Structure 1
């Protein structure tokens, strides 16, 4: 797993994204239809943000905003951390754990080639990477 590059890992996956003018309701439909937890936000072919399930939960639902009229640009994570396409899966995993996020746009130069999710990282010892690094339950 550590030697595999992100560009190799993402080779057969299309880039899923939206513009900042999409509504959150339309994003939710795309997340469901694509079976993903995040979409890159592009303006003029440039990465400007990422919209995640967490952004929607915290900034829209918990913020009592209407998903039918709230626009992506209002609640997205702006200028997200990115990683080079030539980096390894292990590099992506370390960066996501250190940064406390689950989705990481992958770039070749300025061009988005995909998004890697923490749950995409191959299993280690029978657990997914996200299960292996979960915080202990409180209580």
Structure 2
């Protein structure tokens, strides 16, 4: 059985993103409405960053910045690590664990086609991924 790719996982999912000129308050509404933890940030059809719940917590809330006035471009994670759409779920998992991040933009050439979250991967059911993830026994 072939290993599932990120392209397989993201099939049918819309790309959720904003430009750097959005306010953090508007980002929070989108995160809530979409029930996700991060958005890609795109300028002139080019990926320039991501904005995550962690960015908002550490750079806006803990930084005592006003979410109604703070712009995405001021607090986003710039030039994030990316991964090719043809990569396996296990490759994405290894990259996120090694890098210490939970969201990874997925690219096809220069185009962002989506974002994968660490929480997406165990649910994906890839056998090679299950071998990568070691879950302690409960009890």
- Pick the TM interval, shorter chain: 0.7 to 0.9
C-alpha distance in structure 2 between counterparts of 1:35 and 1:110, whole Å? 26
Contact 1:2 1:90 in 2 (8 A): no
Equivalent residue, structure 1, for 2:13: 13
After superposition, where does 1:4-43 map in structure 2 within 5 Å?
Answer: 4-43=4-43
Equivalent residue, structure 2, for 1:136: none
Segments of 5+ residues of structure 2 without an aligned counterpart are none
Q: CA deviation at 1:13?
A: 0.6
Equivalent residue, structure 1, for 2:69: 69
Contact 1:60 1:67 in 2 (8 A): yes
C-alpha distance in structure 2 between counterparts of 1:75 and 1:130, whole Å? 31
SS state of the match for residue 65, structure 1? coil
TM-score (ref. length: structure 2) = 0.88
Q: CA deviation at 1:122?
A: 2.3
TM-score (ref. length: structure 1) = 0.88
C-alpha distance in structure 1 between counterparts of 2:73 and 2:90, whole Å? 31
Closer, same or farther in 2 for the Cα pair 1:66/1:108, shift >3 Å?
same
C-alpha distance in structure 2 between counterparts of 1:132 and 1:116, whole Å? 20
SS state of the match for residue 48, structure 1? strand
Structure 1 residue runs of 4+, over 2 Å off? 129-133
After superposition, where does 1:1-139 map in structure 2 within 5 Å?
Answer: 3-123=3-123, 132=135
Q: CA deviation at 1:130?
A: 8.5
Closer, same or farther in 2 for the Cα pair 1:131/1:16, shift >3 Å?
farther
Q: CA deviation at 1:12?
A: 1.4
